[in-house]
Structure 1
Amino acid sequence: MWKTFRVTDGERTLPVTIRNYTGEDFASLIALQAECFPPPFPSELWWNEEQLNEHVTRFPEGALCAEIEGRIVGSMTGLRIHSEQVVKHDWASITDDGYIRNHQSDGETLYVVDICVAPAYRQFGLGKWLMQSMYETVVHLGCDRLLGGGRMPGYRAVSDRLSPEQYVAQVVQGTLRDPVLTFLLRCGRMPVGIVADYLEDEQSANYAALMEWRNPFKHI
């Protein structure tokens, strides 16, 4: 994939390129992770070169980055899986701890491993553009859907009175707003389930909402 267009934050308009990342981008991608996930987030959980090499070797179509004025300011990574792998899973098992060595080249589901955007560029809608580009990858490859676990960082504050299912339902209805789930809804993703112990994530009480986008050319 390689496409170039312009994005705006309402004041500035900048050219952006969304493309598949390669080995030449590894240092920039690791620096982007450090910028997006600063301490106290543990640095050992940032991408490392071995993981990134697996991404571009096993599934280069699912390795996307956003570049502005020569700088990588966003990235998104996925792998292909079979639907039965989703029945019971967490982030570590479904993504092979981010190494994607379990990638299935004929998998009908494209599963999101990670998405991040540099803080200084988050008002340009790059997250949504990366998501749209992964939808295009789903269509191009003839997959049935895009799927991924969405964090629920607003859930812990209301977990004493709402079940995870109730919380997600209220976010869908617009009664509550969640920083991650509301973004995914705006991107066209819809909840299809709840996963307990998805990640060690205090804000989400370790829950995630499985969020899906279906290929409209395969589900008429």
Structure 2
Amino acid sequence: MAYQSNFFVFDQNKPVSVTVRNYTEKDFDDLISLQSECFPPPFPSELWWNKEQLHNHISLFPEGALCIEVDGELAGSLTGLIVDFDPKHPDHKWEEITDNGYIRNHSPEGNTLYIVDISVRPKFRSLGLGKLLIQSMYHVVVQLGLDRLLGGGRMPGYRKYSDTMAPGRYLEAVVAGGVKDPVITFLLKCGRTPLKVVENYLEDEESLNYGVLMEWKNPFK
């Protein structure tokens, strides 16, 4: 089912027209450009979206391929797939559960909408678009009757505390409000709750390769 929502956000005191919708093939060049802005060098360009990945997103699970426009300009995107997740055996790596972003393992009969990626152009990050995209994906979870939305969050602030805190203790400090993490704190503000710290989730020097599984449970399940 196609998704489209039109509303306003505020740039200081100025209302700005915003649309959340499914992205399509006509957006591919803009989506790749978006990734280049969000993940500039030294981030390797071969890890930006490619057109084969994007084609898989819109053909295998179009409901999980969302973008947001500001005054008609593509400003951000959020991509997901459905997996069959067992909370009793939560450990996994990003590359395994997302098929390295190709989502060929998308399982329509699964129970969990898994977030593959979220990106917002730097010049639009003061508008709260990332939170709006995640909230839009909550709508998809409810519409499809899934158990939860799940994704692994980087914790890029952890490296500064790694000499004095284990990863789990760092997460506890973020949840308690004593430490602010750029990603985990943002996800908490979006309504996500921590499920587990996972080792070797994603190759990420700032997080020392740790990730935090963050979920939002469908309140109607």
When normalised by structure 1's length, the TM-score is: 0.97
Paired residue for 2:188? 185
Offset of 1:136 from its aligned partner?
0.5
Unaligned runs of 5+ in 2: none
Letter in structure 1 aligned against 2:26: E
Hey, what does 1:59 align to over in structure 2? 61
Q: Determine the structure 1 residue equivalent to 2:82.
A: 80
Task: Return the alpha-carbon distance in structure 1 between the equivalents of residues 168 and 215 of structure 2.
Answer: 16
> Which residue of structure 1 aligns with residue 37 of structure 2?
35
Q: Deviations over 1:112-144 (max 9, x none)?
A: 000010000000010000000000100000000
Q: How do 1:40-51 and structure 2 match up within 5 A?
A: 40-51=42-53
The whole-number CA distance in structure 1 between the counterparts of 2:37 and 2:14 is 22
TM-score of the superposed pair, with normalisation by structure 2: 0.96
Q: How does 1:180-219 map to 2 (within 5 A)?
A: 180-218=183-221
Shift of 1:71: 1.3
Alignment partners' CA distance in 1, 2:18 and 2:119: 15
C-alpha distance in 2 between matches for 1:180 and 1:87: 20
Q: Name structure 1 gaps, 5 residues minimum.
A: none
Give RMSD over aligned pairs. Answer: 1.1
2:114 alignment partner in structure 1: 111
Q: CA deviation at 1:68?
A: 1.5
Between the aligned residues of both structures, percent identity stands at 59
State the 1:84 CA deviation. 3.3
Q: Runs of 4 or more off by more than 6 Å in structure 1?
A: none
Q: Measure how far apart 1:12 and its partner are.
A: 3.0
- AA partner of residue 193 (structure 1): K
Summarize deviations over 1:148-198 as a string: whole Å, max 9, x none. Answer: 000000001001111111000110010100000000000000001011011
Q: 1:137 aligns with which of 136, 140, 162?
A: 140
Distance in 1 (CA, whole Å) between partners of 2:60 and 2:22 is 13
Distance 1:57 1:91 in 2: 21
**SS of structure 1 residue aligned to 2:200:** coil
Residues 185-220 of structure 1 show CA distances to partners (whole Å, capped at 9, x for unaligned) of 0000000101101111010010000001000011xx
CA distance in 2, matches of 1:184, 1:194: 14
2:194 matches 1:168: no
Q: Quote the residue 2:4 is aligned against.
A: 2
Report the residue type matching 1:156 in the other structure: R
How far has the Cα of 1:106 moved from its partner?
1.1
Give 3-state SS (helix, strand or coil) of 1:203's partner: coil
Q: Deviations over 1:12-45 (max 9, x none)?
A: 3210100000111101100100111111111100
